[in-house]
Structure 1
Amino acid sequence: MSDSTPVGTTARPVLDVWCELQCPDCRTALDDLRALRARYGDRLELRLRHFPLEKHKYAFAGAQAAEEAAVQGQGWAYVEAVLGRVEELERKGEPFLVKVARELGLDAEEFDTALIDGRHILIVDADQAEGKAIGVTGTPTYVIGDERLDGGKSQEGLRERIEEIADRLLGEREA
């Protein structure tokens, strides 16, 4: 789930956020992500990367739903809405994913169809494979520049470290 940089512009630094929508630690990370978006705006690209964990029954469906939300133009809003209600996802499963889409004014029928026909499975599988290849083992995990930061153990100090790296990368681009 990402924006494309127009041809001829300097690429902005990218923060890949390896996440899954049934993960309580990812919900905790939302405050940091909001703060990073507020501080950097369009100067830093936040990219959701999917890493559904087997221990969470609805994580794979949640990843597919997030992709459908991105197609419909509300990717991050959807991610935040679902993560804010992790327990409800755990209790209600896939119908809850469609319910959140409806609440956000998205095409809920298209959501339901996307979950049935699996049109976003390849994106989710590719993200998960790439995550495994670079050493992601849990969520949330952040990758910015050449550095991987594991937020699954603790969020403590991670936003500050991400800001240090982003500031350095932005300084290099402006020089």
Structure 2
Amino acid sequence: MNRATPSPVVVEYWCEAQCTDCRASLDDLRALRARYGDALEIQLRHFPLDKHAHAYAAAQAVEEAFAQGQGWPYLEAVLARAEELGERGEPLLTEIAGKLGLDAEEVDTALVDGRHLLIVDADQAEGRAIGITGTPTYVVGGIRLDGGDGQEGLRERVEQLVDEALRA
């Protein structure tokens, strides 16, 4: 008897790379990955906020880092320096890329040529369409959990939804 491997439960993680609340939520993502392993797929979705001048460029740089195979480490490194990103802007994005061993020149070129604009624009439009107003926000099985108003109890609620999906 051949059993197919069940599809992982998908958690959409709506993030903004200049958001300090998103930086704080990284611990929750690590805990979710540790608890569920391959039974969980965390998908990064971009929702740059107008209040952060460099969030849109940062989202594009993150997409280029994914194209180079280092998306999550790059996102974490950018979030670790969110306040500095507000002060230094795009030069910091290429600096971080170089420190992680990415092709920093290619990150810079991607920001100039806009090759990842469609991904970021599509995410932002979809986020607005489903009612996202802040970050981090999680969507599990069509249920939106907004962490922009506070992180209290959010991971537990995500875990509850993932557990329900795994039982189904």
TM-score (norm 2): 0.95
Alignment of 1:6-25 (within 5 A): 9-25=5-21
Identity value in percent: 67
1:85 aligns with 81
Which of 125, 141, 145 in structure 1 is aligned with 2:121?
A: 125
Local SS of the residue matching 2:96: helix
Mapped to 1, the partners of 2:39 and 2:68 lie a distance apart of: 23
Which of 33, 56, 62 in structure 2 is aligned with 1:60?
A: 56
1:161 aligns with 157
Mapped to 2, the partners of 1:169 and 1:140 lie a distance apart of: 21
1:34 matches 2:41? no
1:55-90 Cα distance to aligned partner (Å, 9 max, x none): 100000000001000000011111111101111111
> What is the letter of the counterpart of residue 150 of structure 1?
D
Q: CA RMSD in A?
A: 1.0
1:45 matches 2:41? yes
1:72 aligns with 68
Local SS of the residue matching 2:7: coil
> How many pairs align?
165
In structure 1, the gaps of 5 or more residues are 1-7
Displacement after TM superposition at 1:9 (Å): 5.0
| C-alpha contact (below 8 Å) 2:61/2:93 kept by paired residues | yes
Local SS of the residue matching 2:152: coil
In the TM superposition, structure 1's runs of 4+ consecutive aligned residues that sit over 3 Å from their partners are: none
Displacement after TM superposition at 1:146 (Å): 2.1
Displacement after TM superposition at 1:171 (Å): 1.7
Mapped to 1, the partners of 2:38 and 2:93 lie a distance apart of: 28
1:6-63 Cα distance to aligned partner (Å, 9 max, x none): xx75321110011100111111111111111111112100011000001100000000
